[in-house]
């Protein structure tokens, strides 16, 4: 940390002019009016905001834009870099920016903003890897990541003005996230700088040790480098090879890592110095290699040819380590200019070529294929399209979400909280009773987005998964786990459900059940289906191991083999199916008529404890995987559980839809003095009112009192009130209550 803190406030105008000049150098046809407009716009928006050291805030965004220019990014990126903090820190919106600078720039700025908002926590390597992938996926357009890296680089360069706390967290994030991303994108120069800057704050003592040791050796190293450089230069000149030679001390962090991870002293580290020879063509690379090995003694096992076998991040060079005249080993890297640009700026070098006079170079498609390889994507996506719109679409089939602890979980795109729960552990999935995304309870169908924080609510007494979950789950592994649960835990239920499905399918096929259970037929059918009993068939259908259609088809085949079934015409079959569909649909619609706040399409059922009907004040309870159950607000269960710390949070607002048209089932309880003919009288009243009674059960309580429970269908409370009013006039009736009261 430099303490020579002679604060000089930076002059934005001057910085901007320098920026414009650099942009013009790279691309003379750039729209400078647009560039200046972006500068003034950002300047106005950040007016009054200061950097910690006292300069105007705009100096940061100009500096970030300058880095983007050095990377060779295109005009849109530079404009976006100037505006990159506007959505986050000023009143400007995506729409404002889009209107003035186009949708591309607005999207880039918004992308950077999203990345800025991601919270990091330090984790083990695998977690970090997912985090990096998530950032790449969120960025969508690779330029977003590059602008973010430029932003981070400038922030790291000015980190000395920040608090200790911020220095540490930002440096850790840089070391764990941004330097590796820069590395993967092949941006060596930026990666080195990010690492060195981070090290200053992460291990100030270690950093100082390395720099002190280097400084001590500096006079020797410098003389040495000069003489080596000259020697090589002379040799190349003699042989008429046009080459540029430069020597450098390796970056601090790479020396630091060797010293601490391999437990070495600085004088035990070989290549402190590295020379780079840049030539015009590949043939010269190998020529130079020959001369170097002729002049100095090569160290065995230190020769690497990344020209014939490039690194996955597109890096190409020949590396060799030799021993110089003073016995000091040094590394030589030999490459062409083309390879050099790629090594310095990686993927960003793409724009350098692109803005050059001949447009996109042949072979760029090939060059960019590595990004996808590198980031382990699907092998079958289309490389050309990827290059064409420079989108990071390699993660389009994946989504990355957080656990509340900050772990990143990788799921298939379209995944739901159910996939998430089973992705963590099947025990979590099986005991799931609800889910929160970003702190709010959501339906299980909710599709997760990159960066969502997902929390699974579990309970020991959870009833286990519901069959609907298999339809909701996106990942095969979650579905398999749910199936396994049903197979294991729910044989009885599977048999019941499977039997029902089998029977209805059988009816469709026009086969009577008796034909299946027929003594002569049954053994053949079981053999055909490869099971021991019909229950096995039902269980398998029940847990989803076999479809009812498939089972019935096999049964049909088997029966047709032995006897001729009356064949139905296709039209008849279609009509039958249509009828059944219709019946199923009406059944589904009848559960509607209730609006659930925040949920569009969830399963609604009416509680059995208080059987609400339209007109009642109602409230919904998010059940364990079976949708929302609707209760009356005066229901005992609601009143006792609404403040419960565990379940209280699961009550949500529901309301009757504007015009509920169907009937609702409700239950009433009639208390009366015991007398003969009581039930008869009740039935007569109900009949005279045309009430749709589903059941009526009466019981003698103690010879003095009796009670009747009536289940009936009504449209609303008004209708129910009339019925209750008339029943009260029946002789002997003392009280009428609704169930749940």
CA 314 to chain centre: 28
- Span near Mn ion by CB under 5 A; candidates 85-93, 222-230, 465-473, 577-585: 85-93
Selection from 276, 227, 273 nearest residue 254 by Cα: 273
* Of residues 193 and 616, the one with the C-beta less far from Mn ion: 193
Pick from 141, 151, 271, 284 the residue near Mn ion by CB under 5 A: 151
Nearer to Mn ion, 85 or 195 (CB): 85
CB of 12 to Mn ion, least distance (A): 15
Question: Least Å distance between CB 355 and Mn ion?
Answer: 24
CB of 153 or CB of 610, closer to Mn ion: 153
Distance separating alpha carbons of residues 518 and 659, to the nearest angstrom: 51
CB nearer to Mn ion: give 55 or 426.
Answer: 55
DSSP state of 73: -
Q: Which residue has the tokens 């991040």?
A: 313
Lay out the site mask for Mn ion across 196-235 (x = CB under 5 A, - = otherwise).
----------------------------------------
Report in angstroms how near the CB of residue 116 gets to Mn ion at its nearest.
7
Exactly one of 89, 365, 468, 489 is catalytic; name it.
Answer: 89
Question: What gap in Å lies between CA 307 and CA 64, rounded to an integer?
Answer: 33
Q: Label the pairing between strands 398-402 and 733-738.
A: unpaired
Least spacing, CB of residue 143 vs Mn ion, in Å = 15
CA angle (407 as vertex; 406, 413 as ends), nearest 5: 110
Stretch that binds Mn ion, among 21-29, 150-158, 277-285, 480-488 (CB under 5 A): 150-158
Of 97 and 733, the one with the shorter C-beta distance to Mn ion is: 97
Point out the residue whose Cβ comes nearest to Mn ion.
Answer: 151
Contact at 8 Å (CB) between 422 and 482? yes
Q: 151 or 647: whose CB is closer to Mn ion?
A: 151
With the CA atoms of 27, 29, 31 and 33 taken in that order, what torsion angle do they form, in degrees rounded to the nearest 10? 100
DSSP secondary structure letter of residue 391: B
- DSSP per position, 123-183: --HHHHHHHHHHHHHHH-BHHHHHHHHHHHHHHHHTGGGS-HHHHHHHHHHIIIIIHHHHH
Considering beta carbons, is residue 151 or 284 the nearer one to Mn ion?
151
Minimum CB separation of residue 80 from Mn ion in Å reads 12
Which two three-digit tokens encode residue 117? 């908002």
544-563 positions binding Mn ion, by CB under 5 A: none
The rounded distance, in Å, linking the Cα atoms of 445 and 436 is 12
Q: Residue 240: left if φ>0, alpha if ψ -120 to 50, beta else—which one? A: left
Tokens of 207: 């950093």
- Give the nearest distance from C-beta 37 to Mn ion in angstroms: 20
Q: Which positions from 266 through 305 interact with Mn ion, judged by CB under 5 A? A: none
Distances from the Cα of 177 to the Cαs of 123, 426, 461, 705, in angstroms?
11, 30, 41, 77
Closer to Mn ion by CB, 85 or 344: give it.
85
Number of residues in contact with Mn ion, rule: CB under 5 A?
Answer: 2
Element (H, E) at 495: helix 491-509
Nearer to Mn ion, 70 or 518 (CB): 70
- Min dist. Cβ of residue 199 to Mn ion (A): 22
Buried b (16+ CB within 10 A) or exposed e, 537-574: bbbbbbbbebebeebbebbbebbeeeeeeeeeeeeeee
Give the count of alpha carbons within 13 A of 166, CB side only. Answer: 9
* 88 annotated active-site: yes
Tell which one of 20, 85, 393, 455 touches Mn ion (CB under 5 A). Answer: 85
Only segment of 84-92, 391-399, 418-426, 444-452 that touches Mn ion (CB under 5 A) = 84-92
Long-range contacts, 396-400 (Cβ 8 Å, 24+):
398/133, 398/137, 399/137, 399/448, 399/449, 399/450, 400/130, 400/131, 400/133, 400/134, 400/137, 400/138, 400/450, 400/451
C-beta of residue 439 within 8 angstroms of C-beta of residue 102 = no
Which residues does 594 contact at the CB level (< 8 Å), separation at least 6?
604, 618, 620, 630, 654, 655, 656, 657, 660
Give the residues across from 336 on adjacent strands. 279
Which one of 17, 53, 70, 88 is the catalytic residue? 88
Interface characters, 110-149, with Mn ion (x: CB under 5 A): ----------------------------------------
Stretch in the footprint of Mn ion (CB under 5 A) among 15-23, 80-88, 132-140, 606-614: 80-88
Scored b (16 or more CB within 10 A) or e, 93-126 reads eeebbbebbeebbbbbbbbbbbbeeeeeeebeee
Binding range to Mn ion, per CB under 5 A, among 83-91, 158-166, 402-410, 676-684: 83-91
Whichever of 74 and 151 has its CB closer to Mn ion, that residue is: 151
Least spacing, CB of residue 85 vs Mn ion, in Å: 5
The window from 77-85, 209-217, 514-522, 557-565 that contacts Mn ion (CB under 5 A) reads 77-85
Q: How far is the CB of 110 from Mn ion (least distance, A)?
A: 14
Binding site for Mn ion (CB under 5 A): 85, 151
Catalytic residues: 88-89
């Amino acid at each position: 940390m430099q303490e020579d803190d002679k604060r000089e406030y930076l002059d934005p105008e001057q910085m901007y002019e320098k920026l414009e000049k650099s942009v013009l150098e790279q691309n003379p046809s750039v729209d400078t009016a647009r560039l200046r407009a972006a500068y003034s716009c950002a300047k106005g928006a950040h007016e009054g905001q200061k950097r910690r050291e006292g300069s105007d805030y705009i100096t940061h965004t100009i500096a970030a834009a300058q880095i983007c220019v050095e990377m060779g990014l295109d005009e849109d990126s530079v404009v976006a870099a100037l505006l990159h903090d506007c959505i986050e820190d000023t009143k400007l919106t995506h729409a404002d920016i889009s209107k003035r600078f186009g949708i591309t720039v607005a999207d880039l700025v918004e992308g950077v903003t999203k990345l800025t908002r991601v919270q990091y926590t330090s984790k083990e390597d695998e977690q970090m890897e997912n985090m990096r992938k998530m950032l790449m996926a969120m960025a969508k357009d690779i330029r977003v990541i590059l602008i973010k890296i430029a932003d981070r680089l400038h922030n790291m360069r000015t980190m000395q003005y920040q608090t200790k706390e911020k220095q540490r967290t930002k440096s850790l994030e840089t070391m764990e996230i941004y330097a590796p991303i820069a590395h993967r994108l092949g941006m060596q120069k930026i990666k080195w700088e990010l690492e060195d800057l981070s090290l200053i704050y992460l291990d100030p003592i270690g950093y100082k040790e390395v720099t002190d040791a280097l400084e001590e050796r500096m006079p020797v190293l410098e003389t040495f480098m000069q003489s080596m450089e000259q020697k090589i230069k002379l040799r190349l000149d003699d042989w008429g090879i046009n080459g540029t030679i430069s020597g450098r001390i390796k970056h601090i962090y790479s020396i630091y890592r060797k010293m601490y991870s391999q437990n070495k002293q600085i004088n035990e580290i070989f290549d402190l110095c590295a020379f780079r020879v840049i030539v015009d063509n590949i043939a010269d690379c190998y020529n130079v290699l020959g001369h170097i090995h002729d002049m100095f003694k090569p160290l065995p096992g230190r020769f690497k040819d990344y020209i014939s076998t490039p690194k996955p991040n597109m890096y190409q060079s020949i590396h060799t380590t030799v021993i110089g005249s003073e016995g000091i080993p040094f590394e030589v890297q030999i490459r062409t200019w083309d390879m050099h640009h790629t090594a310095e700026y990686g993927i960003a070098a793409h724009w350098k070529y692109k803005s050059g006079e001949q447009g996109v170079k042949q072979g760029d498609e090939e060059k960019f294929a590595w990004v996808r390889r590198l980031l382990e994507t699907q092998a079958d996506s289309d490389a050309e399209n990827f290059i064409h719109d420079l989108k990071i679409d390699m993660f389009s089939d994946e989504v990355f979400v957080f656990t509340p602890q900050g772990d990143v979980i990788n799921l298939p795109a379209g995944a739901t909280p159910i996939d998430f729960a089973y992705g963590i552990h099947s025990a979590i999935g099986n005991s799931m009773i609800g889910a929160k995304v970003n702190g709010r309870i959501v339906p299980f169908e909710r599709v997760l987005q990159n960066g969502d924080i997902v929390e699974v609510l579990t309970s020991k007494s959870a009833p286990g998964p519901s069959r609907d979950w298999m339809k909701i789950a996106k990942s095969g592994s979650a579905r398999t786990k749910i199936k396994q649960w049903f197979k294991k835990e729910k044989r009885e239920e599977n048999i019941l459900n499977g039997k029902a499905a089998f029977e209805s399918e059988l009816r469709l096929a026009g086969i009577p059940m008796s034909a299946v259970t027929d003594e002569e037929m049954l053994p053949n059918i079981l053999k055909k289906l490869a099971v021991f009993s019909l229950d096995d068939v039902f269980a398998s259908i029940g847990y989803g191991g076999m479809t009812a259609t498939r089972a019935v088809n096999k049964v049909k085949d088997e029966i047709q083999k032995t006897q001729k079934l009356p064949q139905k015409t296709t039209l008849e079959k279609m009509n039958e199916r249509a009828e059944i569909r219709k019946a199923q649909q009406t059944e589904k619609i009848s559960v509607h008529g209730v609006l659930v706040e925040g949920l569009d399409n969830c399963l609604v059922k009416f509680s059995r404890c208080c059987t609400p009907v339209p007109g009642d004040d109602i409230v919904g309870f998010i059940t364990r995987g079976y949708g929302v159950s609707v209760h009356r607000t005066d229901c005992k269960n609601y009143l006792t559980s609404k403040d419960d710390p565990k379940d209280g949070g699961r009550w949500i607002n529901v309301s009757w839809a504007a015009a509920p048209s169907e009937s609702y089932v409700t239950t009433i309880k009639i208390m009366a003095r015991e007398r003969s003919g009581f039930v008869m009288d009740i039935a007569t009243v109900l009949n005279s009112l045309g009430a749709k009674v589903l059941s009526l059960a009466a019981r003698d309580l103690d010879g003095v009192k009796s009670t009747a429970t009536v289940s009936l269908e009504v449209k609303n409370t008004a209708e129910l009130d009339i019925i209750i009013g008339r029943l009260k006039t029946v002789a002997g009736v003392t009280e009428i209550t609704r169930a749940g009261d």
